[in-house]
């Protein structure tokens, strides 16, 4: 027997097995094969955070349809294939976690890159500068970061002495969903544990252990906080690479993109064209050379990525029309 019109939210994904939150609790759900066989892009498969339509068939729940996503965080598929892989959907905040303990845990360039990924998701970026207890100049780094990620809220935290945790909690009110991105070792797991209720910490620890297990490395899940907010944790988030559109880059570099409006040519590359406003501000010292270099570098990287995407689409169209022709020939026979 079919019962349709059930709505739910995906709270866990492991390969093609899902757990969904429905009105009556958390249940296992499977993809309805006939609805997903014709999918062209990986990004169309359901992921954690997705709202879905379900049907109940002989006691099992099947995911029939993914409802339109409000926001989504993506990465490039592993390997050489240029394909978008959506890691989490319908998130409210992408929190970029960096560490104040020196070394590679904080750099302006990394902040620019991750801010671009965050803007591209459609969610609101947040910057968390963690391990404040290890840096006596935390407020100075924050001040500096404000010029690198203009218009983004920046929170200085320490899980060690509790600095900023209350401020962070304020963002995670009922129904709000956050993901943490950032290099390993900056304290994303520690922060997650700290934000979770005590009694849930145990579940989380088990899940953390699970994740290290060989066969369970691709489990993604949504963890509920005491406040009613959620954290989405996924191994995919640990290796987010640049996946963004030009617009996201312009959001990260509002200082440069606003100046670029005054360039003589609308397609100015800011590399020595006549009447380039960016070059002129650079010469006046109003844009730092490092930030200018980083802007150009990320722009080129994106252009490369977009060319590869376009190539892939063309190949797909070619394969598709070839297939259509073959089908026609078969029919004619």
Q: Which is nearer to ligand GDP, 184 or 315 (CB)?
A: 184
Closest CA to 304 of 248, 244, 250, 252: 244
Q: Which residue is nearest to ligand GDP (CB)?
A: 187
Confirm if 237 and 243 have CB atoms less than 8 A apart: no
Among 9, 13, 75, 270, binds Zn ion (CB under 5 A): 270
Backbone φ and ψ of 219, nearest 5°: -80, 130
Q: How far is the CB of 226 from ligand GDP (least distance, A)?
A: 20
Q: Which is nearer to ligand GDP, 198 or 331 (CB)?
A: 198
User: Residue 229 binds what, of Zn ion, ligand GDP, none (CB under 5 to 8 Å, by partner type)?
Assistant: none
Q: Which is nearer to Zn ion, 144 or 280 (CB)?
A: 280
**3-class state of residue 25 by DSSP:** strand
Closest CA to 196 of 186, 205, 187, 183: 205
Q: How many residues of this chain interact with ligand GDP, rule: CB under 6 A?
A: 14
Enter the tokens of residue 8. Answer: 């739910």
User: Residue 270 binds what, of ligand GDP, Zn ion, none (CB under 5 to 8 Å, by partner type)?
Assistant: Zn ion
Confirm if 48 and 9 have CB atoms less than 8 A apart: no
Q: Which is nearer to ligand GDP, 51 or 180 (CB)?
A: 180
Q: How many CB atoms sit inside 10 A of residue 173's CB?
A: 12
Residue 211 contacts ligand GDP per CB under 6 A: no
Sort 162 into a burial class: Cβ within 10 Å, 0-12 / 13-18 / 19+: exposed
Q: Which is nearer to ligand GDP, 90 or 158 (CB)?
A: 158
Among 178, 191, 268, 282, binds Zn ion (CB under 5 A): 268
Among 278, 282, 287, 302, binds Zn ion (CB under 5 A): 278
Among 8, 49, 187, 229, binds ligand GDP (CB under 6 A): 187
| Residues in Cβ contact with 329 at an 8 Å cutoff, skipping those fewer than 6 apart | none
d(CA 129, CA 106) in angstroms, rounded, equals: 8
Q: How far is the CB of 304 from ligand GDP (least distance, A)?
A: 29
Residue 241 contacts ligand GDP per CB under 6 A: no
d(CA 192, CA 332) in angstroms, rounded, equals: 61
In the beta sheet, which residues pair with residue 230? 177, 224
Residue with token string 């320490």: 158
Residue 190 contacts ligand GDP per CB under 6 A: yes
Stretch in the footprint of Zn ion (CB under 5 A) among 7-15, 143-151, 232-240, 270-278: 270-278
User: Residue 190 binds what, of ligand GDP, Zn ion, none (CB under 5 to 8 Å, by partner type)?
Assistant: ligand GDP
Q: How far is the CB of 278 from Zn ion (least distance, A)?
A: 4
Q: HEC string of 218-230?
A: CEEEEEECCCCCE
- Alpha-carbon distances of 68 from 27, 76, 89, 200, rounded to whole Å: 22, 21, 10, 30
Stretch in the footprint of ligand GDP (CB under 6 A) among 49-57, 106-114, 128-136, 260-268: 128-136
Residue 256 contacts Zn ion per CB under 5 A: no
User: Residue 276 binds what, of ligand GDP, Zn ion, none (CB under 5 to 8 Å, by partner type)?
Assistant: Zn ion
d(CA 39, CA 35) in angstroms, rounded, equals: 8
Q: How far is the CB of 5 from ligand GDP (least distance, A)?
A: 40
Residue 131 contacts Zn ion per CB under 5 A: no
Among 62, 116, 158, 204, binds ligand GDP (CB under 6 A): 158
Binding residues for ligand GDP, rule: CB under 6 A, are 130-131, 133-134, 158-160, 184-190
């Amino acid at each position: 027997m079919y019962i349709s019109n059930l709505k739910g939210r995906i709270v866990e994904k492991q390969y093609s097995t899902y757990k969904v939150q429905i009105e009556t609790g958390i249940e296992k759900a499977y993809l309805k094969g006939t609805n997903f066989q014709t999918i062209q892009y990986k990004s169309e498969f359901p992921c954690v955070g997705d709202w879905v339509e379900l049907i109940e068939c002989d006691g099992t729940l099947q995911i029939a349809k993914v409802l339109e996503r409000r926001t989504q965080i993506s990465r490039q598929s592993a390997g050489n294939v240029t394909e978008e892989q959506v890691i989490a959907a319908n998130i409210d905040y992408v929190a970029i976690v960096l560490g104040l303990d020196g070394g590679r845990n904080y750099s302006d360039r990394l902040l620019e890159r991750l801010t671009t990924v965050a803007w591209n998701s459609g969610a609101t970026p947040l910057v968390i500068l963690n391990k404040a207890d290890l840096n006596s100049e935390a407020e100075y780094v924050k001040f500096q970061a404000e010029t690198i990620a203009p218009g983004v809220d920046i929170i200085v935290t320490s899980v060690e002495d509790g600095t900023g945790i209350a401020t962070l909690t304020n963002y995670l009110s009922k129904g709000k969903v956050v993901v943490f991105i950032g290099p390993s070792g900056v304290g994303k797991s520690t922060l997650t544990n700290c934000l979770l209720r005590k009694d849930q910490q145990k579940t989380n620890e088990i899940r953390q252990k699970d994740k290290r297990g060989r066969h369970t490395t691709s489990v993604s899940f949504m963890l509920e906080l005491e406040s009613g907010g959620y954290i989405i944790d996924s191994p995919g988030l640990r290796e987010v690479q640049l996946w963004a559109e030009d617009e996201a880059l312009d959001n990260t570099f509002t200082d440069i993109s606003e100046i670029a409006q005054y360039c003589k040519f609308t397609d100015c590359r800011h590399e020595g064209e006549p009447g380039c406003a960016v070059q002129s501000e650079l010469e006046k010292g109003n844009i730092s050379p490092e930030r200018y270099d980083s802007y150009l570098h990320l722009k080129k990287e994106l252009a490369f990525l977009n060319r590869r995407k376009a190539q892939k689409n063309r190949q797909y169209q070619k394969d598709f029309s070839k297939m259509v022709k073959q089908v026609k020939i078969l029919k004619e026979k």
